[in-house]
């Protein structure tokens, strides 16, 4: 039997995938602008939170929780939306703490069915929390609340996991002070 091997055009095959490919061009271009900008790390995290809340309709509260170095405590960092009483959350508590403990994205499509949940507002119906890793540890999280039940899809998870990779360098080692 004769086997023929077709060599494909390498340039096409190895093209860099588009950044935040599954987002609208408005979101993509604003995020790239922020990431390339001159603001410091926490300033960029604030700009990202503001942008996501403003441009993505089902993201009603967007915030970053940062792990207090050397502890299992998450502290509220930059956020956009209503202020929350949950400014410190231990690993294991609530949706945020469970995501930190599991070291993986945690989506709750109906918060009324989740026992281990810390409520910020009765308007919130679903939530996604995506850990930010450094050297294998959870150094922070992206937390998003939606006023819609079943708001989050696989696309949200993929997008936010990509964003988590890109925000890792923005979390200072001594943050929050």
Binding stretches for ligand SME (CB under 6 A) = 61, 63, 84, 86, 89, 94-97, 117-118, 120, 127, 143, 145
CB of 138 to ligand SME, least distance (A): 14
Element (H, E) at 12: helix 10-13
Instruction: Report the residue number, 73 or 84, with the smaller CB distance to ligand SME.
Output: 84
The count of residues in the chain is: 177
CB of 65 to ligand SME, least distance (A): 8
CB of 80 to ligand SME, least distance (A): 11
Indicate the residue whose CB is closest to ligand SME.
94
Instruction: Report the residue number, 49 or 89, with the smaller CB distance to ligand SME.
Output: 89
Instruction: Report the residue number, 84 or 153, with the smaller CB distance to ligand SME.
Output: 84
CB of 117 to ligand SME, least distance (A): 5
Instruction: Report the residue number, 111 or 171, with the smaller CB distance to ligand SME.
Output: 111
Task: Return all residues near 74 (Cβ < 8 A) that are at least 6 apart.
Answer: 65, 66, 67, 68, 88, 89, 90, 91, 96, 97, 100, 140, 141
> DSSP secondary structure string, 25-82?
HHHHHHHHHHHHSSS-HHHHHHHHHHHHHHH-TT--EEEEEEEPTTSSEEEEEEEESS
Q: How many CB atoms lie within 10 A of CB 22?
A: 14
CB of 61 to ligand SME, least distance (A): 6
Instruction: Report the residue number, 47 or 145, with the smaller CB distance to ligand SME.
Output: 145
């Amino acid at each position: 039997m004769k086997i023929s091997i077709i060599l494909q055009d390498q340039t096409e095959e190895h093209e860099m995938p588009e950044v935040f490919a599954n987002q609208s061009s408005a979101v993509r271009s604003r995020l790239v602008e922020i990431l390339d900008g001159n603001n410091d790390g926490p300033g960029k995290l604030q700009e990202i939170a503001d942008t996501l809340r403003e441009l993505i309709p089902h993201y009603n509260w967007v915030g970053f929780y940062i792990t207090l170095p050397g502890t299992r405590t998450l502290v509220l960092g930059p956020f956009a939306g209503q202020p929350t009483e949950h400014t410190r959350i231990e690993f294991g508590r609530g949706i945020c703490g469970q995501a930190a403990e599991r070291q993986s994205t945690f989506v709750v499509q109906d918060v009324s069915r989740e026992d281990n949940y810390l409520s910020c507002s009765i308007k919130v119906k679903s939530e996604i929390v995506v850990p930010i890793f450094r050297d294998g540890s959870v150094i922070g999280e992206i937390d998003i609340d939606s006023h819609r039940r079943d708001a989050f899809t696989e696309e949200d998870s993929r997008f936010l996991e990509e964003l988590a990779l890109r925000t890792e360098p923005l979390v200072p080692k001594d943050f929050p002070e």
